[in-house]
Amino acid sequence: MNNPVKDPLDELFSSLNDLVQESPSPAFVQDLEARLDALEKKRRKPLLIWWFFSALGAVLFSGSYFLFFSNHAANQGQQHAENKNNTSAQAMTKKQMDTTSFASEFSSLFHPSTSTSSSSSSSSSSSFSSSSTNLIAAHPTTSSTLLSSSVSSSNAAPSTDKTRVQEETYIINPILLSDDHEKDCVLIVDQPTPVLPKAVVPTKKRIQHQIGLQFGVSGIFSSFDLPASHPLLTDDQMKLFRETREFGERNTSSWDFNLRYGMSINNWQLQTGLHYFEWGEQLQYDVISVEGTNRYRYLSVPLLLGYSFDFGKIRMSPFTGLAYGKCLTANGNYIEPQVNGVTLVTAKNFAGTFIGQLELQYVLNSKLVFTCTPVYRRSLGPLIDQQMIVNSYQSLGLQTGFLYRF
Amino acid sequence: MNLEPELQLLQAAAAGERRAQLALYELCYPVLISAARRYYHNTDEQMTVVNNSFVKVIQYLNNYETGRFLSWVKRIISNEIIDEYRRNKRYNELYRFDAPVEERGAPDFQTDQIFSHEQLQRMLLSLSEPARLVFNLFAIEGYSHKEIAQMLGVTEETSKWHTKMARKKLRELIENIHE
């Protein structure tokens, strides 16, 4: 603001700059109060939005926590039962071996004709009692009755089929193998060695495909770099420019859409698709007339690699990767380095983005999965690099959606 | 006359206390209305620009650092007026004149007559909108042509041309009053 030689006419009119003490009319005050009320409402609105998202986050977190732990507890119970199963089975085997050898010796003393093939006898009784074991398990109170019948049957009609016993697979109800019923089990005499099912480990690759749609909101954090000096600006001007930008450029939010395709090979996940997201910032410079929001919209193709951890119906998959996209809206404006006017800028037409995300999936059924994904994004290099305006961006957001598995 | 507000008043206004905001409005009103009257005939337009500017003062009060508060308020209303000008799509009128302007020689205007604020305002408001805007910024608010050119997105020549046209018109008006 410098005007060294003043025209007399200019001087005459510059007297209009002198202040005259004056109070606002009631109409002005009324109008102002209405505007201040509107401003107050506008200030409260973002607070409500943050409350809403915080509550949503809390619900999702507690829901996931509950589901995870209930599932985890069930898994632990099952594992505990399996352990007992193994222990009981071992005890049964030991006892059965003892009783079998005792029975064969006893049989050879009193029935020398039938003892010629003790193994065959024991096998045959085993084969019968193997079928009766399920009944015993289901009705432990009747075990003794069935046991006696099994013994008598085996004596009455001994079978010579040795291989049948070894091929027989026992399904033992884990409830019956608790402490209360363990006694019933070990009381069984002439039981065959139960052949427990081997853990089936698939050696074949499991490939699954997924398509899905997700949407969400991200908070964008803008940062800018300034050179240490500029040939046309003094240090004070540089400082003013930096401070004006720091005060005047604020974080903003963006809508995110994600049309995705994924493929999983065992626990490894590969993801691609189309990502729509925005970079930008809110402008509220108080020293120049520019205000509004710069939005640089990008449509990107991501390539993400992840690994999933299964907890029953809950699956947690950290992903990381890059996206490369085309700018849909590239124009923005910023304050000029002289802090007087506006600099028009254009964002990069093609830009890369680093993506890291932690996908939480809840399996609704064999086909449908609900996802909730916190996503972190960072622009690779400055998105705007025009003289004194060098801007980079990061964002943190939450996306929710559904996946269809096939 | 020291019109700079107390820090406590500014803090209370920034915190949203309505009474403090209205007290600050009383304090800023002379600055705001005198600027608005130089640009707008209509009371409604004046009210809109005055109150919009004051709402911005409240909004950005947290950004204000110690200094000359009323100068800061003046800048805000100037920006608001330029914005308003842009919003109403009168901006293109500024671009019509881009011819080089000869540097003015020695000031040839002299008058002994004393004009009231109202008379000066009336004369100013009779100028065309672009000329009024540029003349206000240059002659009254003290911006240079370079600064005006940057603020309005026009060339310095255009700013000079509008100032010259405004002066010419104002001289005619003053001479008419003399006669």
**Top-confidence range, A99-113, A139-153, A244-258:** A244-258
Angstrom CA distances, B77 to A248, A338, B137, stand at 17, 19, 12
Would the CB atoms of B59 and A284 count as touching at under 8 Å? yes
Residues from chain A that touch B121, judged by Cβ atoms under 8 A, are 16
Residue A316 banded pLDDT, cuts 50, 70, 90: very high
Q: Tens digit of pLDDT for each residue in B126-143?
A: 888 888 889 999 988 888
Pick from B60, B120, B170: CB nearest A284: B60
How many contacts, defined by CB atoms under 8 Å, are there between A and B? Answer: 135
Most A-contacting residue of B65, B109, B152, B178 (CB-CB within 10 A), to test interface: B109
Residue A277 banded pLDDT, cuts 50, 70, 90: very high
Higher pLDDT, A252 or A6: A252
Q: How many CB atoms lie within 10 A of CB A274?
A: 15
Q: Tens digit of pLDDT for each residue in A339-359?
A: 766 778 888 889 999 999 999
Nearest-Cα distance to chain A for B156, in Å, is 13
Query: Cα(A257)–Cα(A255) distance, rounded to whole angstroms?
Result: 7
Lowest mean pLDDT among A260-269, A377-386, B87-96: B87-96
ipTM of the complex: 0.82
Query: Please, how many CA atoms are within 13 Å of residue A342, restricted to the half-sphere of its CB?
Result: 22
Q: Tens digit of pLDDT for each residue in A183-211?
A: 444 444 455 555 555 555 555 667 889 89
The whole-number pLDDT of residue A379 equals: 92
Taking residues B91-110, report their average pLDDT.
Answer: 54
Closest of A403, A344, A348, A346 to residue A370, by C-alpha:
A403
The whole-number pLDDT of residue A146 equals: 41
Show which of residues 104-123 on chain B sit within 8 Å of chain A, judged by CB atoms.
Answer: 104, 107, 109-111, 115, 117, 120-121
Beta bridge partners of A298: A277, A327
The whole-number pLDDT of residue A170 equals: 47
Q: Which domains does chain B have, with CATH numbers?
A: 7-87 (1.10.1740.10), 92-178 (1.10.10.10)
Residues from chain B that touch A22, judged by Cβ atoms under 8 A, are 29-30, 33
Confidence check: pLDDT of A326 > 50: yes
Query: Cα(A401)–Cα(A103) distance, rounded to whole angstroms?
Result: 66
Would the CB atoms of A1 and B72 count as touching at under 8 Å? no
Mean pLDDT, all residues of chain A = 72
Taking residues A228-244, report their average pLDDT.
Answer: 77
Q: For chain A, give every domain's residue range.
A: 77-187, 206-405
Q: Are A215 and A256 in contact (CB under 8 A)?
A: yes
pTM beyond 0.90: the answer is: no
Residue A85 banded pLDDT, cuts 50, 70, 90: low
Nearest-Cα distance to chain B for A247, in Å, is 7
Q: Tens digit of pLDDT for each residue in B140-177?
A: 888 888 888 877 777 888 888 888 888 888 888 888 77
Most A-contacting residue of B150, B154, B156 (CB-CB within 10 A), to test interface: B150
C-alpha A266 chain-centroid distance: 17
Show which of residues 296-335 on chain A sit within 8 Å of chain B, judged by CB atoms.
Answer: none
Residues from chain B that touch A342, judged by Cβ atoms under 8 A, are 153
Taking residues B85-98, report their average pLDDT.
Answer: 60
Nearest-Cα distance to chain A for B10, in Å, is 15
Pick from B25, B72, B109: CB nearest A9: B109
Residue A257 banded pLDDT, cuts 50, 70, 90: very high
The whole-number pLDDT of residue A76 equals: 67
Nearest-Cα distance to chain B for A242, in Å, is 14
> With the C-alpha atoms ordered A32, A33, A37, A40, is the resulting torsion angle positive or negative?
positive
Taking residues B49-66, report their average pLDDT.
Answer: 86
Q: Look at domain A206-405 and name its CATH class.
A: mainly beta
The whole-number pLDDT of residue A5 equals: 59
SS3 A281: strand
Structure tokens at B150: 């940057």
The whole-number pLDDT of residue A175 equals: 46
Lowest mean pLDDT among A268-282, A291-305, A326-340, B159-173: A326-340
Show which of residues 64-103 on chain B sit within 8 Å of chain A, judged by CB atoms.
Answer: 64, 72, 75-76, 79-80, 82-83, 86
Lowest mean pLDDT among A41-55, A338-352, B55-69: A41-55
Q: How many CB atoms lie within 10 A of CB A120?
A: 15
Query: Cα(A324)–Cα(A301) distance, rounded to whole angstroms?
Result: 6
CA-derived radius of gyration, chain B: 18
Lowest mean pLDDT among A193-207, A309-323, A357-371: A193-207
C-alpha A171 chain-centroid distance: 36
Lowest mean pLDDT among A7-21, A49-63, A261-275, A318-332: A49-63
The residue whose two tokens read 């199963």 is A85
Nearest-Cα distance to chain A for B75, in Å, is 6
Torsion-angle region of residue A146: left (phi > 0), alpha (psi -120 to 50) or beta?
alpha
Most B-contacting residue of A30, A236, A239, A286 (CB-CB within 10 A), to test interface: A286
Q: Tens digit of pLDDT for each residue in A162-171?
A: 444 444 444 4
Rounded to a whole number of angstroms, the distance between the first and last alpha carbons of chain A is: 69
